Structure 1
Amino acid sequence: MKRILIVDDHAVVRGGLRQFLASTDDLEIAAEAATGFDALALIPGGDWDLVLLDMSLPDINGLELLKRIKRMRANLPVLIFSMFSEAEFAIPALDAGASGYLNKDSPPYQILSAIRTVVDGGRYVSPSLGEQLLSGVASSSQKAPHETLSRREMEVLLLLSKGVTLTRIGDSLHVSVKTVSTYRTRILEKLGVKSNAELTRYVLQHKLG
C-alpha cells in the first residue's frame, strides 16, 4: 500500500480524496496537513511514497514549501494538486522539483492516473500541458501583465492578495521586510495598479489565486 501525505488547507478536499482513494487497493491517505508548517513537521519522520500538495496555503506559499520539502528529502515525489491555472504555475512547479501538476478540476480517472504515475517514479503532465510544452510558450508581446512577474514576485503577489502583511511575507520567504516592500513596488508597477486592494481585484479577475 502506497502511503500519501496530503497537504491542503481545505478539509473537504482532504476528506474527499481520502474517501476516493479508500476505494483503491494500492493507495491510502496516511496523514494530512492543513498548513505548510504542519507538513514540514511530518516530512522527516514519515514513510511517505508521495506528497500531494496544494499551491495555496495559509502560511507558506506552495512553491516555497515544495522547495523546502525537496531540500529535506530530495527523492520524495511531490504532485501538485491545485486550483491555480496550469498555464501559469505548472512549469515553475516542475522547475522547482515537482513530479507533476494536476488541476483540482481534473476527472477522477485522471487524478488516479496522475497519482499512480508519480508514485511509480514517473512524471505527470496533463495532455493540454504536454501540448503547451511541445509548442512553446506564447511570445512575450502577447503576455498578460502578470506573466512578466518573476517567480518570487508572483509568490508575493498571491500573499498580498490574501491580506498577508509584509512582515509575515518576509518571515515566510526568509527575506527582509524592505525586500518584500521592493517586490511590492515592482508588482504594482508591472500590473499598473496602485494599492493592495487593486492587486487583490487583479488576482480575482485573472483567477490567479
Structure 2
Amino acid sequence: MPAPSALPPAAERWRIVLLEDDDTSRHFFERSIRSHAGLDLQASFSRLRDAQAWLESNPADLLLTDLSLPDGHGLELIYRLKNLQPGCEALVISVLGDEDTVLACVEAGAVGYIHKDTHSQDIGQIIADVKRGASPISPMIARKLLERLRQPAGDTPAAPEAKPAVHLTKRETDVLRLIARGYSYAEIAEMESITKHTVQMHIKNLYSKLAVHSRGAAVYQAGLMGLVAPPGQ
C-alpha cells in the first residue's frame, strides 16, 4: 500500500465500492485496489442488498461488481445505479462471458466488462484506466463481440418476427417493479399484503411470460418494458 505521504488529496482519489461474493476473489481485488494511490476502497460487500443499501446513502465514483451473487444478479444494481448515483460508473468482472450478458450490462450502463479468467490481472490498474476515460473489455469478450459485428451481411439471420405483447396482470406488474427495485420476497409480500408463497407464484408466472430464468433477466426485461427507469434517467 502506498505510504501516506504518497497519497494524492482525498478529493482526487476515486471512491470504489466492491461487490464480490467469492472471498478469495474479493480479498484479491481489495489488495489490488488499495495498492493504487489514486483509488480509495470505501466499502466491500458479498451481498447485493448490502451494497445497494450502502450506495443509497454514501457517494462513490465506481462500483466494481460480479454478476452471479447469492441474493440476486449484479445487473439489477447496475440498472439502479444511475438513479442512485448518476455520477458513479459500473465495471463488471465476471466468469460469464456470453454476448447477451455482456450487451445487457453495457446497455444497463456498465463502462467496461472484465472476464474473471485469471487472478493475474491488476484490477486496480484497470480501474485507474477507467478513471482516465478508458472502457476496458477483456480480449476474449471483445473478440466475440467483434465476430458478431463482422458477420457478413449475407449471413445475418433474418430479423425475428415481432413478439406478441406480454400481458401482465396489475399484481404481476407491481411485483416485477418491486423486484427491479431490489426488494426481497418477504418485503414484497408485506408491501402487497399477500403471502410470500403468493409472491413466489407471481414470480414463477412472470418468468414464464417473460421467458426468463433469473431475477437479473427479469429486471432487464422490466427496463425494456419501461417498468424501471432506463440507465441515465
2: CA distance, partners of 1:34 / 1:110? 20
2: CA distance, partners of 1:109 / 1:10? 17
Deviations 1:39-64 (A, max 9, x none): 11111332322110110112222111
Preserved CA contact (<8 Å) 2:20 2:46: yes
1: CA distance, partners of 2:22 / 2:99? 23
Q: How does 1:14-53 map to 2 (within 5 A)?
A: 14-53=26-65
Out of 181, 198, 208, which is 2:204 matched to? 181
1: CA distance, partners of 2:102 / 2:187? 24
Shift of 1:84: 1.6
Deviations 1:143-162 (A, max 9, x none): xxxxxxxxxxxxxxxxxxxx
Residue 78 of structure 1 is matched in structure 2 by: 90
Shift of 1:6: 0.3
C-alpha distance 43-100 of structure 1, shift in aligned 2 (>3 A): same
Corresponding position: 1:123 with 2:135: yes
**Bigger relative contact order (CA 8 A; separation at least 6):** 2
TM-score (norm 1): 0.63
C-alpha distance 14-41 of structure 1, shift in aligned 2 (>3 A): same
Q: How does 1:1-209 map to 2 (within 5 A)?
A: 1-106=13-118, 108-109=120-121, 111-136=123-148, 168=185, 171=188, 177-185=200-208
**SS, match of residue 136 in structure 1:** helix
What letter is aligned with 2:69?
L
User: Any gaps of 5 or more consecutive residues in structure 2?
Assistant: 1-12, 158-183, 193-198, 214-233
Preserved CA contact (<8 Å) 2:16 2:64: yes
TM-score (norm 2): 0.57
1: CA distance, partners of 2:145 / 2:186? 31
Higher helix share: 1
Preserved CA contact (<8 Å) 1:170 1:177: no
Larger radius of gyration: 2
Shift of 1:88: 4.3
Deviations 1:108-167 (A, max 9, x none): 4463443122233432222333333333267787xxxxxxxxxxxxxxxxxxxxxxxxx8
Q: How many residues align?
A: 164
C-alpha distance 75-97 of structure 1, shift in aligned 2 (>3 A): same
What letter is aligned with 1:7?
L
User: Any gaps of 5 or more consecutive residues in structure 1?
Assistant: 142-166, 192-209
What letter is aligned with 1:135?
E
Preserved CA contact (<8 Å) 2:65 2:93: yes
**SS, match of residue 4 in structure 1:** strand
Identity across the alignment (%): 25
2: CA distance, partners of 1:114 / 1:120? 10
**SS, match of residue 92 in structure 2:** strand
What letter is aligned with 2:138?
S
2: CA distance, partners of 1:74 / 1:86? 27
Residue 3 of structure 2 is matched in structure 1 by: none
